[in-house]
Amino acid sequence: MQFFVDCNMDSKMIRFRFTESELDNQVAAVSESEKAFTKEQSGELCKELIRKSVNHPSTLGINGWDYGYKKFEPVGNTAVWMDFKAKNGFGLELKYTAECKFQPGNPNGEITIREREAS
């Protein structure tokens, strides 16, 4: 069984999530925000999700230097927006943007890929 508690500290909401076992063993509480992935961790996890999602990984080029990151307080979820290029089945290189979302401590995030308009 899992529990979560929302606390208000200095007018800032903080969420704690713990299991029955952690409660029974009096494990120190760590907020979901403290468990959140950093920008660098989220970026690496997103790159891996992109690699797993493309049809031709050998043609993949990811812009790993300039990408967006946001940590959502108080739940600790993170999101990354990352541009990349890859070839499709016809050999045409297309430009895409991936949006990856992660929950604290769970590297198996969600990915949404959209084609960018040609510039």
Supply the pLDDT for residue 119: 62
Question: What residues contact 47, with CB distance under 8 A and at least 6 apart?
Answer: 62, 64, 82
- The 10s digit of each residue's pLDDT in 64-99 is 888 999 999 888 999 999 999 999 889 999 999 999
Digit-coded pLDDT (tens) for 25-76: 888 888 888 889 999 999 999 999 999 999 999 999 999 888 999 999 888 9
Q: Could you tell me which of 116, 118, 71, 74 has the C-alpha nearest to residue 96?
A: 116
Q: How many residues does the chain have?
A: 119
DSSP strand pairing (12-19 vs 2-9): antiparallel
Residue 47 to residue 78: CA distance in whole angstroms: 14
State residue 103's pLDDT score: 94
pTM of the predicted model as reported, rounded to 2 decimal places: 0.84
Residue bearing the bigger pLDDT, 47 or 15 = 47
How many Å apart are CA 48 and CA 96, to the nearest integer?
A: 15
pLDDT at residue 30, rounded to an integer = 85
Question: In terms of Cα–Cα distance, which of 64, 45, 48, 47 is closest to 105?
Answer: 45
Which tokens sit at 86?
Answer: 């890859």
61 SS3 class: strand
Q: What is the pLDDT of residues 109-119, one digit of tens each?
A: 999 999 998 66
